[in-house]
Structure 1
Amino acid sequence: MGKRQHQKDKMYITCAEYTHFYGGKKPDIPQTNFRRLPFDHCSLSLQPFVYPVCTPEGVVFDLLNIVPWLKKYGTNPSNGEKLDGRSLIKLNFAKNSEGKYHCPVLFTVLTNNTHIVAIRTTGNVYAYEAVEQLNIKAKNFRDLLTDEPFSRQDIITLQDPTNLDKFNVSNFFHVKNNMKITDPDEEKAKQDPSYYLKNTNTETRETLQELYKEFKGDEVLAATMRVPEKMKVDKLNAAHYSTGKVSASFTSTAMVPETKHEAAAIDEDVLRYRFVRKKGYVRLHTSQGDLNLELHCDLTPKTCENFIKLCKRRYYDGTIFHRSIRNFVIQGGDPTGTGTGGESYWGKPFKDEFRPNLSHTGRGILSMANSGPNTNKSQFFITFRSCAYLDKKHTIFGRVVGGFDTLTAMENVESDPKTDRPKEEIRIESTTVFVDPYEEADAQIAAERRTQLEVTEAPESTAKMSQAPQGSQGPQTYRQGVGKYISPTVTVWQRKSHQPVPWPLRPRRSPAEVLGTSARGSSGPATLEPGRDVGWGACVHVS
Structure 2
Amino acid sequence: MNKILTLILCLAFLSGFAARPKHQYIKIKTDMGECIIMLYNETPKHRDNIISLIRKHVYEGTLFHRVIRDFMIQGGDPDSKKAKQGDLLGDGSLGYTIPAEFRDSLFHKKGVLAAARDNNPEKASSGSQFYIVQGKKFTDEGLDSLEENRLHFKIPVWQREIYKSIGGAPHLDRNYTVFGEVISGLDMVDKIASVARDSNDRPVVDVKMSVSVLKRRAAKKLEKQIN
**Do they superpose with TM above 0.5?**
yes
Alpha-carbon distance, 1:278 to partner:
2.8
Residue identity in the other structure for 2:45: K
TM-score for the superposition, normalised by structure 1: 0.27
Residue identity in the other structure for 2:129: Q
Q: Which residue of 1 aligns with 2:124?
A: 374
Does residue 282 (structure 1) correspond to residue 29 (structure 2)? The answer is no
Q: Which whole-Å deviations, capped at 9, do the CAs of 1:317-362 have from their partners, x for residues lacking one? A: 000011000100110000212100132xxx521200000101102x
Q: Which residue of 2 aligns with 1:421?
A: 202
Q: Which whole-Å deviations, capped at 9, do the CAs of 1:102-129 have from their partners, x for residues lacking one? A: xxxxxxxxxxxxxxxxxxxxxxxxxxxx
Alpha-carbon distance, 1:435 to partner:
4.8
Question: In structure 2, what is the Cα distance between the partners aligned to 1:389 and 1:412?
Answer: 21
Question: In structure 2, what is the Cα distance between the partners aligned to 1:408 and 1:325?
Answer: 10
Q: Which residue of 1 aligns with 2:98?
A: 350
Does residue 406 (structure 1) correspond to residue 188 (structure 2)? The answer is yes
Q: Which whole-Å deviations, capped at 9, do the CAs of 1:73-117 have from their partners, x for residues lacking one? A: xxxxxxxxxxxxxxxxxxxxxxxxxxxxxxxxxxxxxxxxxxxxx
Contact 2:38 2:182 in 1 (8 A): yes
Q: Which residue of 1 aligns with 2:48?
A: 305
What does residue range 188-337 of structure 1 map to in structure 2 within 5 Å?
A: 278-296=22-40, 298-337=41-80
Structure 1 outlier segments of 4+, above 6 Å: none
User: Alignment partner of 1:304: what SS?
Assistant: helix
Alpha-carbon distance, 1:277 to partner:
8.9
Figure out how many residues of one structure are paired with residues of the other and give that number: 154
Residue identity in the other structure for 1:299: E
Question: In structure 2, what is the Cα distance between the partners aligned to 1:358 and 1:321?
Answer: 23
Larger-gyration structure (1/2): 1
User: Alignment partner of 1:336: what SS?
Assistant: helix
Q: Which whole-Å deviations, capped at 9, do the CAs of 1:272-331 have from their partners, x for residues lacking one? A: xxxx993111101112111111100x2000001011111111100000011000100110
Question: In structure 1, what is the Cα distance between the partners aligned to 2:90 and 2:193?
Answer: 18
Contact 1:311 1:432 in 2 (8 A): yes
Does residue 396 (structure 1) correspond to residue 197 (structure 2)? The answer is no
Residue identity in the other structure for 1:322: H
Question: In structure 2, what is the Cα distance between the partners aligned to 1:284 and 1:390?
Answer: 23
Question: In structure 2, what is the Cα distance between the partners aligned to 1:435 and 1:352?
Answer: 27
Residue identity in the other structure for 1:423: V
Contact 1:293 1:400 in 2 (8 A): yes
Contact 1:352 1:376 in 2 (8 A): no
Q: Which whole-Å deviations, capped at 9, do the CAs of 1:473-509 have from their partners, x for residues lacking one? A: xxxxxxxxxxxxxxxxxxxxxxxxxxxxxxxxxxxxx
Which of the residues 165, 169, 186 maps onto 1:387? 169
| Gap change, CA 1:277 and 1:434, over 3 Å in 2 | closer
Question: In structure 2, what is the Cα distance between the partners aligned to 1:333 and 1:340?
Answer: 10
Question: In structure 1, what is the Cα distance between the partners aligned to 2:204 and 2:126?
Answer: 27
Which of the residues 420, 427, 431 maps onto 2:211? 431
What does residue range 113-262 of structure 1 map to in structure 2 within 5 Å?
A: none
User: Alignment partner of 1:360: what SS?
Assistant: coil
Question: In structure 2, what is the Cα distance between the partners aligned to 1:333 and 1:388?
Answer: 22
Residue identity in the other structure for 1:419: N
Q: Which consecutive unaligned segments of at least 5 residues does structure 1 have?
A: 1-275, 437-543
